[in-house]
Amino acid sequence: MPIKGRFMNGTIVPIIAGNWKMNGLIEQLAEISNLDNMLEQMQHKAGHIIICPPATLLNMAKKCAKYGQISFGGQNCHWEERGAHTGDISAEMLADCGALYVILGHSERRMEHGETDEIVQKKVGAAFRAKLTPIICVGESEKERKANMAVEKVLSQIKNSLPSEAKNNKIIIAYEPIWAIGTGLVPTLDEIKEMHQKIREQLVNLFGEHGMQYPILYGGSMKPDNAKNILSIKNVNGGLVGGASLKTSEFIKIIKALDEI
Ligand code: PEP
């Protein structure tokens, strides 16, 4: 895929990923077909578009994207391949439904389901086993930001949530300050720049030159009116978008921001 704009000489293809969370019934699949149609008509080539719908819609969503302009991902997986884990979904099951990606360690799972870095690390291993690319979320709380602990927290989450096999696999990091998710609050551009730079350095510390290849997404109240500024920051290789990904009319504006950079 030819890549336009400031990424032309780099190797990282920008990514805009939508996280639908626990939203979406069958009727919302029309949003997927609309988006796929629009991307086809625009001949969109500035980045890679991913939607992570609820697992119940994954298989149908893939079929709705008949032009193949969208890739799909799950929002979580178990670390085991199969077995007595009522209510859980394995990475292999997501792949079987057409997923290429899986969001892991989202702050809502870390907080609501007690997912530790250790658990996230096991899930990342499961994603590799099923040939899924994990989108690994990290981010500080408001308290940690105020106590000047944000960088320390995020770098330790990266160190402890990634297995050593990450070196030989594709991974995507999503920096999502917890206090910015779904709140309309966003860090300053300088704060985002600083954090993404530190994350890049940490990835290089851990994985050598491979660390230069991993996309680092920003997530947390990314909207059409702030997307261009955020996506223009060095080491911001795209966005993980929650609320604004549910309506194609909003999400497409964020995608189009890639063309303006
Ligand atoms: C998210 O939960 O991944 C997210 C970024 O949400 P929002 O865009 O709604 O803040």
pLDDT at position 28 over 50 = yes
182 CA to middle of ligand 1, Å? Answer: 5
How far apart, in whole angstroms, are the C-alpha atoms of residue 93 and residue 210?
28
Domain for residue 10, yes or no? no
**In this structure, which residue's CA is closest to atom 6 in ligand 1?**
242
Among 258, 91, 250, 107, smallest CA distance to 177 is for 107
Among 137, 9, 151, 167, smallest CA distance to 76 is for 137
How far apart, in whole angstroms, are the C-alpha atoms of residue 144 and residue 80?
32
Domain for residue 4, yes or no? no
Ligand 1 contacts CB of residue 182 (under 6 A): yes
pLDDT value, residue 11: 78
Instruction: Give residue 9's pLDDT band: very low, low, confident or very high (50, 70, 90).
Output: very low
The residue type of 16 is: I
The secondary structure of 172-217 as a DSSP string is EEEE--GGGTTTS----HHHHHHHHHHHHHHHHHHHGGGGGTS-EE
How far apart, in whole angstroms, are the C-alpha atoms of residue 106 and residue 136?
7
Domain for residue 126, yes or no? yes
For the chain, percent of residues with pLDDT exceeding 90: 93
CATH assignment at residue 184 = 3.20.20.70
185 CA to middle of ligand 1, Å? Answer: 11
Ligand 1 contacts CB of residue 240 (under 6 A): yes
Instruction: Give residue 45's pLDDT band: very low, low, confident or very high (50, 70, 90).
Output: confident
Domain for residue 149, yes or no? yes
Q: Which domain holds residue 172?
A: 15-260
pLDDT digit string, tens, across residues 110-164: 999 999 999 999 999 999 999 999 999 999 999 999 999 999 999 999 999 999 9
Domain for residue 1, yes or no? no
Domain for residue 9, yes or no? no
Domain for residue 113, yes or no? yes
**Domain total for the chain?**
1
pLDDT digit string, tens, across residues 192-212: 999 999 999 999 999 999 999
**In this structure, which residue's CA is closest to atom 7 in ligand 1?**
242
Domain for residue 3, yes or no? no
